[in-house]
């Protein structure tokens, strides 16, 4: 997969591409990231990329005669072009999975007051990583890139992301490691028994328990399996017994 990032601040991505899973994925050829400074498409000696809003208003707006040529010059018919904007659709794991199947994506980072509205006609999608406002789209594009790259073949072990939170619509089950006992608190016995069937059932049950407690909204439209319904009944009985 190739990821192109259009930004006014390319140096922000140096550390992002030079550490951890992202660096290893690039080194192994799993993905390629190209960071493009779209200020290079500015035509005046001061390299302006923005201007004041028509009819007045606060802030500056990114100009279409700068950004649209930059988009065209850096994309092909196979490029899925995404505007990073708080007005976009809310980013979730299923979107990351869909994007990970693309051959090439472009992430366009806004800045200042926003984009000239005409720029939207030259992209395929608009994405927001949450209901809050950032200084620019750079951090959001890193979030999207990271979430996509870790899903690519050979970026990490497949089993490392298959049980992640949201991957199956639930929050991830609790994780433990050594020491087995610390400060009077022990790792649950079921995780030490070696019975894979019991461990799998415990993990599913605790995923359901955590999701019911912290993100019940994730369960609203879920089609529960027979086993999940049984586990939910067990959880409710256990919680009622604590009252």
Tokens encoding 120: 């939207």
Q: Are residues 47 and 133 in the same domain?
A: yes
pLDDT recorded at residue 161: 57
Q: Identify whether 175 is part of a domain.
A: no
Q: Identify whether 166 is part of a domain.
A: no
164 is catalytic: yes
pLDDT recorded at residue 55: 82
Q: Identify whether 139 is part of a domain.
A: yes
Q: Are residues 127 and 189 in the same domain?
A: no
Q: Identify whether 167 is part of a domain.
A: no
* Total domain count, the chain: 2
163 pLDDT higher than 60? no
Which residue from 132, 80, 75, 74 is spatially nearest to 101, judged by alpha carbons?
Answer: 80
227 is catalytic: no
Catalytic residue among 86, 138, 206, 209: 86
Q: Are residues 45 and 112 in the same domain?
A: yes
Can you say whether the dihedral through the CA atoms of 149, 151, 153, 155 is positive or negative?
positive
Catalytic residue among 63, 116, 138, 150: 150
pLDDT tens digits for range 218-238: 999 999 999 999 999 999 999
44 is catalytic: no
Q: Are residues 99 and 206 in the same domain?
A: no
d(CA 83, CA 137): 9
Catalytic residue among 113, 126, 146, 163: 113
Q: Identify whether 172 is part of a domain.
A: no
Phi-psi region of 242 (alpha: psi -120 to 50; beta: other; left: phi over 0): alpha
The β-bridge relationship of strands 125-128 and 79-90 is: parallel
Q: How many CA atoms are closer than 13 Å to the CA of 12, on its beta-carbon side?
A: 17
d(CA 120, CA 116): 8
pLDDT tens digits for range 192-219: 999 999 999 999 999 999 999 999 999 9
pLDDT tens digits for range 35-80: 999 999 998 888 999 999 998 888 899 999 999 999 999 999 999 9
> Can you give the residue range of the structural domain that contains 31?
2-158
150 is catalytic: yes
Q: Are residues 56 and 136 in the same domain?
A: yes
For the chain, first and last CA: distance in Å?
A: 52
CATH of the domain at 200: 1.10.1270.20
Q: Are residues 142 and 185 in the same domain?
A: no
CATH of the domain at 92: 3.40.1280.10
Q: Are residues 200 and 144 in the same domain?
A: no
Q: Identify whether 207 is part of a domain.
A: yes
Catalytic residue among 164, 172, 174, 228: 164
The β-bridge relationship of strands 185-186 and 125-128 is: unpaired
Q: Identify whether 169 is part of a domain.
A: no
């Amino acid at each position: 997969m190739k990821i192109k990032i259009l930004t006014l601040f390319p140096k922000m991505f140096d550390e992002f591409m030079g550490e951890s899973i992202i660096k290893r994925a690039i080194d192994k050829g799993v993905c390629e990231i190209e960071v493009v400074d779209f200020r290079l498409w500015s035509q005046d000696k001061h390299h302006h990329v923005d201007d004041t809003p028509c009819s007045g208003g606060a802030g500056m707006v990114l100009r279409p005669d700068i950004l649209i040529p930059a988009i065209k010059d850096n994309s092909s018919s196979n490029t899925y072009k995404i505007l990073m904007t708080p007005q976009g659709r809310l980013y979730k794991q299923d979107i990351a999975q869909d994007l990970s199947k693309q051959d090439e994506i472009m992430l366009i980072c806004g800045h200042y007051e926003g984009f000239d509205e005409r720029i939207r006609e030259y992209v395929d999608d608009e994405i927001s990583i949450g209901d809050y406002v950032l200084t620019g789209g750079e951090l959001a594009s890193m979030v999207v890139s990271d979430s996509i790259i870790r899903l690519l073949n050979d970026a990490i072990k497949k089993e490392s992301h298959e049980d992640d939170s949201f991957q199956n619509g639930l929050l991830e089950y609790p994780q433990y490691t050594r020491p087995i006992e610390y400060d009077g608190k022990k790792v649950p016995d079921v995780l030490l028994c070696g019975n894979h069937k019991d461990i799998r059932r415990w993990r599913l049950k605790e995923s359901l328990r955590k999701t019911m407690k912290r993100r019940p909204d994730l369960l609203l439209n879920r089609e529960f399996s027979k086993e999940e319904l049984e586990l939910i009944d067990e959880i409710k009985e256990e919680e009622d017994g604590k009252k």
